[in-house]
Amino acid sequence: MSTNETPMQVSTYGLACGSTELGKTRNKFLGVSAGCVYAIIAFFRFIIYLFQGGENNCMEYSEFYVNFFLDTIIAFLKVYIIGLLPIMALRKVLIQESVRRNTPACFLDELHTLMYKKRTYITPLIYTISSIIIGWTYFDLIGTSYRRTKTMFLYPGTEDFWCPSHRKDNCKGLLPMINEHYLIALVYTTVLGIWYGCDFLLHKRYMLTFNVAEPRYPFSLPKEILIVWNCKYDIFVWSSLTTALYFSIIFWFIKLLIWNTIYEWLPNLIFLHNTSIYYWMRASWFDVQLFNRTVLSAIFTVMCWSVIDILIEHFFTRIHFTIGVYMDPHAILVNGLHSYQQPYYQQLAFLELWHIAKFDQYRRSAIYADFNRKRERAFSCVKHNNPNSAWTEISRSCMDLILGLANSAQIEIKKQHTRKLLLRKKYEKFRNMEKNALKEKERKIVGQKDLEVKMTAETMTKDRDYWGMKLLEWFHPVTGNYPYFMRKVYSFFAVPLLKRSIERRTKDVFKDLYITICAIQALTALTVKSLNEDKHGVVQNDIANVFESMLDCLMSLEQYSNKPPLDEWDIGDPFAFTYSSVLSDPLIVINVLKDALFDLRKAFYPHMDYFKLSSVHYDRLNKLLSEGL
């Protein structure tokens, strides 16, 4: 759900989760995140004390502990409440879009779509404010005591003022001046927030990864912190360090290269003589101590942001249970499986179904037995033919996702094939029109002035595909007409914006990747375990449908991975990625489908003669078994 749209009505499954498990998870997340942020601030405060210990030798231990505690508490309140809570609220707004990966065919189309969404402007603004607040807090920690008057922007003292030695007389009447270090720190933190917010949006870092694993039950606050640290400390530390250092190096390089080149002549272009801004602009913009402080402030800021991202993925991707919420948990679960407009709740429902199929024998038996509902208790989301059977609604929801993925792959293949044929026809048409126009133009120049040129550049360029084919003709990496250097430059700068890449189109086909994996594994486990637990025989009528749906999806994805629908820029492109990296999503689903079919075949091998599969499905299943032997 985008932030510029009216919020949709929450499904029954979403209300059930929100009233029980999600509420507990949210409270646990707030507690753990507060503890982690306080630990980061205390760690930095302790390191600062070690480096500034000489200044505190005259301080008694009791006074030092009081100051240390007060500094840490005040810094925590500013960082957590003002700097991080708005980011948590933003992640809550984007929670429904953290599952389904809607990816346009080219990056330029995605930028055009983002221009009309509020999040495009709100997200960098929130991160900018957060960066300024957290950076300001860090510079306060390394500054003087809180008992002294100071601020980040204006400093009323004289010892830290910058003023060139040859202009000391003119600086006397300029107090209070803008402090150079604080102003550079303000610019630094502002650019850091804008850069991180834009990167957060463009690379979709709000997406959640749902790992299908055994459920993680809630623990106490200290134990949750230890679990997160043991699982994510390497990612947390190295990602924070690399991100902060990468930004700092680029920022200082641009500042030194551009600003130091022009600061000698820029103040002379404007009337700023005898002002504090004039002296600030003529200042030397590199200082080793300032460089170290800004880099450390970036590490501190990115660590605070990273810990929120890690904790959101840790807590809000775990399995939730709604069995104790209402008297009809199966209706709640089926409603969640059908919540296509709310992907996050749909993902949670499939995670719960996966846990039931793998570990909960009681609920599996209840699903098999729930097949004779009365009219007043029938399932409200009547999507299939039997709203009185829980197995029918659950199995059809899983098979709809599996077959939907197969159809999406085939549609993409056919769409790309049709597009290539259409472009080829247009290309031949435009070439003939250009030749005729050139001949008529030559005849007109010779002397036939009454002859009109039927084809002009204006009428030809109205078609968008015309320029696409001309660019392909000029700058294709292999067959382009332009020199190699120009083709390489175009491929590096322009192609990433305009190219309908196979990577982006594959991501869009597999936008429900995690939901589909949960559906495949849950349907397989329910079908296999029904052999011993289904005492009413409600599953046996659908076993053939389960085999056929998985085999259809497998054959479709194998065709997609063996002959991917490449674009014209992908064919013969030596700069393109290899297919193994491009088609990782299809290969993941193919492996999951093969494992599922092996399990089904192993469980129902003595009964395969009773299932009426088509010859195509039988051949593919036998070929799969021969491959596994």
Secondary structure element (H or E) that encloses residue 37, with its range? helix 21-51
Q: How many CA atoms lie within 13 A of 141 on its CB side?
A: 32
Distance CA 156, CA 148 (A): 11
Question: According to the model, what pLDDT value does residue 444 have?
Answer: 61
Q: What is the pLDDT of residues 34-91, one digit of tens each?
A: 988 998 999 888 887 777 654 445 555 566 677 778 888 988 999 999 999 999 999 9
Residue 238 or residue 357, greater confidence:
357
**535 φ, ψ (degrees, to nearest 5):** -85, -5
* Selected residue with higher pLDDT from 348 and 573: 348
Provide DSSP, 381-433: S--SS-TT-HHHHHHHHHHHHHHHHHHHHHHHHHHHHHHHHHHHHHHHHHHHH
Nearest to 37 by CA among 225, 294, 256: 225
| CA separation for the pair 199, 204 (Å, rounded) | 8
* Banded pLDDT at 384 (limits 50, 70, 90): low
Single-letter code of the amino acid located at 151: T
Grouping H, G, I as helix, E, B as strand and the rest as coil, residue 178 is strand
Q: How many residues does the chain have?
A: 629
Closest CA to 553 of 405, 380, 344: 405
Coil, strand, or helix at residue 154?
strand
Judged by average pLDDT, the poorest of 82-91, 200-209, 450-459 is 450-459
Residue 185 contacts by C-beta under 8 Å, 6 or more apart in sequence? Answer: 135, 139, 152, 290, 293, 294, 297
Task: Return the minimum-mean-pLDDT range out of 147-156, 523-532, 538-547, 557-566.
Answer: 147-156
Q: Which of 518, 557, 543, 523 is nearest to 405 (CA)?
A: 557
pLDDT higher for 348 or 503?
A: 348
Mean pLDDT of 447-457: 47
Phi and psi at 211, nearest 5°, equal -85, 125
pLDDT score, position 178:
44
- DSSP 8-state class, residue 144: S
Nearest CA to 48 out of 135, 138, 182, 152 is that of 138
Q: How far is CA 81 from the centre of its chain?
A: 25
Please work out, in degrees rounded to the nearest 5, the angle formed at the alpha carbon of residue 201 by the alpha carbons of 195 and 203. 95
DSSP state of 267: G
Whether 621 has a pLDDT exceeding 70, the answer reads: yes
* CA dihedral (259, 264, 266, 267) positive or negative: positive
Higher pLDDT, 231 or 559: 559
Tokens representing 261? 């080149």
Q: Which has the minimum average pLDDT: 144-158, 339-353, 562-576?
A: 144-158
Quick check: helix, strand or coil at residue 580? helix
Residue 393 — very low, low, confident or very high, per pLDDT cuts 50/70/90? confident
Q: Which of 300-314, 557-571, 576-590 has the lowest mean pLDDT?
A: 576-590
Residue 176 has pLDDT above 70, yes or no: no
Rounded to whole angstroms, how far apart are CA atoms 140 and 83? Answer: 15
What does the longest C-alpha to C-alpha distance in the chain come to? 104
Say what the pLDDT of residue 579 is.
47
Work out the pLDDT band at 8, boundaries 50, 70, 90: low
Q: Mean pLDDT across the stretch 83-109? A: 88
Least confident of 34-43, 374-383, 431-440: 374-383
Q: To the nearest 10°, the Cα dihedral for 477, 483, 484, 488?
A: -70
In angstroms, the CA 391 to CA 337 distance is 12
610-628 burial by CB neighbour count: b if 16+ within 10 A, else e?
A: ebebeeebeebbeebeeee
DSSP string, 364-383: HHHHHH-----GGGS-SS--
What is the Cα–Cα distance from 5 to 389, expressed in whole angstroms?
36
Judge contact between 409 and 557, C-beta under 8 A: yes
Mean pLDDT is highest, among 104-113, 529-538, 587-596, for: 587-596
Mean pLDDT of the chain: 76
Can you spell out the DSSP letters for 499-545?
---HHHHHHHHTTTHHHHHHHHHHHHHHHHHHHHH-SS--SGGGHHH
Region 10-35: mean pLDDT is 80
> Is pLDDT of 383 > 60?
no
* pLDDT in the model for residue 574: 40
pLDDT value of position 192: 92
Distance from C-alpha of 206 to C-alpha of 140, rounded to nearest angstrom: 30
* Average of per-residue pLDDT across 418-430: 72
Give the H or E element holding residue 254: helix 221-254
* Chain CA centroid to CA 430, Å: 41
- Whether 393 and 565 have beta carbons less than 8 Å apart is answered as no
Q: Who contacts 377 (Cβ-Cβ below 8 Å, separation ≥6)?
A: 328, 331
Question: What is residue 147's predicted lDDT score, i.e. its pLDDT?
Answer: 36
Indicate the range of 6-15, 132-141, 244-253, 514-523 predicted with least confidence. Answer: 6-15
Bridge partners of 154? 178
Q: Are 444 and 451 in contact, with CB atoms under 8 Å apart?
A: yes
pLDDT score of 294: 83
The answer, yes or no, to whether the previous bond of 483 is cis (omega within 30 of 0) is no
Banded pLDDT at 578 (limits 50, 70, 90): very low
Helices (H) and strands (E) in the chain, counts: 26, 0
